[in-house]
Structure formats: C-alpha cells, structure tokens
Chains A and B, each alone.
Chain A
Amino acid sequence: MAAPLELSCWGGGWGLPSVHSESLVVMAYAKFSGAPLKVNVIDNTWRGSRGDVPILTTEDNIVSQPAKILNFLRKQKYNADYELSARQGADTLAYIALLEEKLLPAVLHTFWVENDNYFTVTKPWFASRIPFPLSLILPGRMSKGALNRILLTRGEPPLYHLQEVEAQIYRDAKECLNLLSHRLGTSQFFFGDMPSTLDAYVFGFLAPLYKVRFPKVQLQEHLKQLSNLCRFCDDILNSYFRHSLGAFSCVNRNQQQTDFGEASLLLDKKRSMPICRNSPSL
C-alpha cells in the first residue's frame, strides 16, 4: 500500500479547484497520472505552512515546487508521460520553458501587480485564507516578490519605465498564447488523446487566467479569442475535476452575484460552512 500523499495548496474559486497556478499544475498532473492525493486546502487557521506552496507530504518526505513534486510522483510510478516518445518528452521541456519565460511574467502581473486586480480580487481572496495578523503582511510580500521577479528578469534597459516593461511582457504573453494555440490545433491534448505533463502545465497557467473575474482583463480577452485553448481548459475541468466542483460552487455562485468589494466578506461567512472547509480528497 502506497504511503498516503498529502498536498497542501491554495484553494479554489470561480469554478477552479485552485486559483494558484503552481498548485493547479500539481493537482492536474495527479489527476492525469492517477496519483491518489489528499488535498489540504490552506485556510485561515494556523495549521500548516504557507511558504513555498504547493507542498507534498508523505511519511518520510516533504517536497516543494511543482517540478520536484512531479518528479517525485513519477518515481512513485505515477507517470502521465508513459506513452510519449523521446522527442515528445523533449518538446515538453521546451514548451514548459516557453511558458515560464513568456507567459508567467504577464500572469504574475495580472494577479499581483496590476493595482485594480490586486486590491479588488487577489488580495482579499488570499487574505481571507491567511490567519490574522499574517493576512496583513503575506499578500503584500507575495505582490512585492512578483514585481521583483518581473523587473529583474524583464526590466532591463532599454526598458526603463514600468509601463514599457508591462507593454513588452503582455506582448510576449499574447505571442506565447498564439503559439500554444497553433501547437494545440484541433487535438484534444497536446500529445494526442491522453493528457501529459505539458497539458498539466498549460492548464495550470491558463485556467486561472481564463476563469478568475478581474477588472482589468486584457490578457483574458486575448485568451478568450483563442477558442481551442478555452475548450482545452473546459474539457479538463469537466472531465477531471467535475466531482470536486460541487464543493466550490457555493463560493462561485455568490461571487457571481455580488461585486468584488463584498467578495471578501462573503468568503469570511462561507468559512463556517462545512462543505467548503473539508474539501474532498481528489
């Protein structure tokens, strides 16, 4: 009997099992490879740590970072890439590098740096899942970390103003989305009929961008025009995450009906509902 695998990650909303890209990558891979994961959603009690999320815990190991967690799962014989050829495996690495270099800065910017989005959506959401007084500090720190990463990797001369950096990263992200759309074409998954690691990564990066309701939505609008990528995300949500979506629909319904200023209050109220606290094991 395999040791129980527990995953600590950020929770879901807007129809997603998690709104955090890296957590979503791991959850999707676990579904694709059939790994029995018990998901512990981070809530605002002091239980569990919040740094370096997602974290996989087994009896003897603690593994963080999606790449390492996926490697660990593969070593435990939960391999979603079994059917891939050597060349497709190489393509996987290359496309993941493309996602991290071209798409990730814009996703980080949309969630954590763009002021309207950060203060109305991201900060209240995360703050409601972090215990006081850490909830006053941690979201700000995560936001600064994101801005830092963007400026250090892309903010080099001749781009001296933040607006120029922003323009460049959004251009790169749109180009990356177009490339992914070309590569996906009309197939169901990136390598044929079975989902693999690359599908998990693309889903993890695209789904939050696709589903979370933001005030400033330029990248989301571009993504919605690429219908095959939207269909890709919806297919995976419907096929692999249908059962757990019931638990999140209570949050989802209320968010659709109110404006964002009240979303955090509602999330606080939902804390006491049992169905949202104990998320079912995936």
Chain B
Amino acid sequence: MSLVAEAFVSQIAAAEPWPENATLYQQLKGEQILLSDNAASLAVQAFLQMCNLPIKVVCRANAEYMSPSGKVPFIHVGNQVVSELGPIVQFVKAKGHSLSDGLDEVQKAEMKAYMELVNNMLLTAELYLQWCDEATVGEITHARYGSPYPWPLNHILAYQKQWEVRRKMKAIGWGKKTLDQVLEDVDQCCQALSQRLGTQPYFFNKQPTELDALVFGHLYTILTTQLTSDELSEKVKNYSNLLAFCRRIEQHYFEDRGKGCLPQHGLPRGAMSAPRI
C-alpha cells in the first residue's frame, strides 16, 4: 500500500473501537488446513488473545481466495479486511492496542529481527516440508489442499499451488536443499529461539509481544500436527524451555479463558486427523 493509502486506512481504523463481532477466517480445520496456514492462524489468534480482543474463528473452504493478499488468516473487523500477522498488528495498533509499546528502540529492532528469523527459517521449512518433500506431498498435502473441491479441480489446484511454492523455493535458494539440511536449519532456528528465551517467561521478560504469539503459533502447530514422520517435532522437543513456553501460553491464554478454540487438545500430541490415502 502507498503511504497515503496506509495513512487513510489508519485513520478509519482509529475512528472505531474494536467491535464484538470481529471474525477471523481460515480454511476448514479438520480436512483442509495445512501446517503453515494453521501456524499463521494460531499466531494471529494468540496475538488477539494477548491483546484481550474478542475474535470468532470461522472456517471457510475458500478463505485463501477471500483474503485480500491471498494468504490466511484474515480478519473482518467492522467494514475492513486485513490479512497476515504484520498488517493485523499495525491495524490493532491504530485502534489503540499494542503489546510492544513498552519496548525501547533496540528491543524493537531485536523483536523485528527475531520475527524475520521465524518467517525466514521456520515458515520456509514448513512450506518446504509440505510442498517439496515427496512423501508428505503425496500422503497429506495434495489430499488436504484439494479436499473441498470435486475432481479434477482438486488435483489442478494442488498442482498449481505446488508449482508456485517450488518456484519460490528455487528463487530463494532452497530448491537444492535436502530434507536433512532443512531439518538442520529448523534445529538452528529453535536453538536460537531457545537461547534468546533463556529462563524468562516470555521473550521480552514479563509481558508477551507479537513475537511470542508468532513463535507460539509455529511451535505449537509443529508439535501437535501429525506428519509422515516425527522428525520436525523432535527437533522442537529437544528444547525444554520452548516446550514450557508453549504450555504456558496455551494454559494462560486459551484454556484459562475458556476459549478452547485450539484445534488440538493439548500438548504433546493432539488429534489433527489427516485423511491418509
């Protein structure tokens, strides 16, 4: 968006308070949603819970196409539609709620850097695993991605998405990586997150920020999603402080509030049933 358009949207956003009927759209929980989209959706839900803003989760098969940027999740608030965590954080800030106001400039720089690390390594690894690893693609991804559509549309859409993701992987240099190298990168990323978290309850000590929401979204989804093998979740399980971190956020922001809108039932292993071919 150009600067003028952004300023305009901020003005409109600031004018109205957060309504009661705000909704978050994602794909169908049980049969359609994939690992990376689920992680993104959970991150946004966690962020809104941390800001104490009510949100209703609605599952639609065509959520990806409804979204203004083509990515899920997106929220529908008043008469505005905003997608992806970054713009949603900005939007919520324009309405007067922010988790990172108490941070100084250096801490804000660190927070942004770590969010990019998660996007750069964890999200890309999830996409790689879903779309470039033959075993996972054949067994899980194709079936899930095309499940709401009739034949032959389900195959066409799945192949089209796979081609798109593979092109992007090639452009950023991940096309030639093997699965082991990708898992190495995930391990490195988790190690960095674990070292940064240390023994603190959240990344910036007492109060959670959008970084905590993002990390929670990804790690929780990795831990509770059943894939063809356990290697990805094993990498995360090596770091006990990350496990404790996920449990803490789950208990504090989801169970205690009685919200129960998490797709899985607690750590370590939930029941995200993937229809296996």
* B-binding residues in A (CB < 8 A): 65, 86-87, 89-91, 93-95, 97-98, 100-102, 145, 148-149, 152-153, 156-158, 164, 167-168, 171, 179-180, 182-183, 185
Contact = CB atoms under 8 A, between A and B. Distances in A.
B120 A97 contact: yes
6 contacts: A90-B192, A98-B116, A101-B120, A152-B167, A152-B171, A158-B68
B121 interface: yes
Query: Chain A binding site: helix, strand, loop or mixed by DSSP?
Result: helix
Given A148-B171, A153-B172, A179-B109, 5 more contacts: A90-B196, A91-B110, A93-B188, A94-B117, A158-B69
A86 B196 CA distance: 8
B248 interface: no
A149 B105 contact: no
Contacts of A65: 173
A62 B22 CA distance: 55
B171 A183 contact: no
B86 to A, nearest CB: 10
B56 interface: no
A85 to B, nearest CB: 9
A156 B193 CA distance: 28
B191 interface: yes
A168 B6 CA distance: 12
Contacts, number: 81
B277 interface: no
Nearest to B68: A158
Interface string B55-82: 0000000000000111100000000000
A101 B195 CA distance: 22
B113 A91 contact: yes
A149 to B, nearest CB: 5
A182 B196 contact: no
B120 A91 contact: no
B106 interface: yes
Contacts of B109: 179-180, 182-183
Contacts of A148: 171
Interface string B99-115: 00000011011101110
Interface string B126-160: 00000000000000000000000000000000000
B1 interface: yes
Interface of B: 1-3, 68-71, 105-106, 108-110, 112-114, 116-117, 119-121, 167-168, 171-173, 188-189, 191-193, 195-196, 198
A90 B171 contact: no
A152 B167 CA distance: 8
A152 B168 contact: yes
Nearest to A88: B195
A179 B112 contact: yes
Nearest to B67: A157
A164 B171 contact: no
Contacts of A156: 69-71
A169 to B, nearest CB: 13
Contacts of B116: 94, 97-98, 100-102
Contacts of A90: 191-193, 195-196
A89 B195 contact: yes
Contacts of A167: 2
A87 B121 contact: no
B105 A182 contact: yes
9 nearest A-B residue pairs (beta carbon):
A90-B192, A94-B113, A179-B109, A97-B117, A97-B120, A98-B113, A90-B195, A94-B117, A86-B195
B214 to A, nearest CB: 12
Contacts of A94: 110, 113-114, 116-117, 192, 196
B110 A185 contact: no
Of the candidates A94, A97, A158, the one having the most CB atoms from chain B within 10 angstroms of its own CB is: A94
Contacts of B173: 65
A98 B172 contact: no
A179 B108 CA distance: 8
Contacts of B68: 157-158
A91 B196 contact: yes
Contact of A101 (B71, B110, B119): B119
Contact of B113 (A87, A145, A152, A179): A179
Contacts of B192: 89-90, 93-94
Contact of A157 (B69, B110, B191): B69
A157 B120 contact: no
A110 B277 CA distance: 48
A153 B167 CA distance: 10
Contacts of A183: 106, 109-110
B68 to A, nearest CB: 6
Contact of A87 (B2, B3, B198): B198
A27 B188 CA distance: 24
B72 to A, nearest CB: 13
Contacts of A157: 68-70
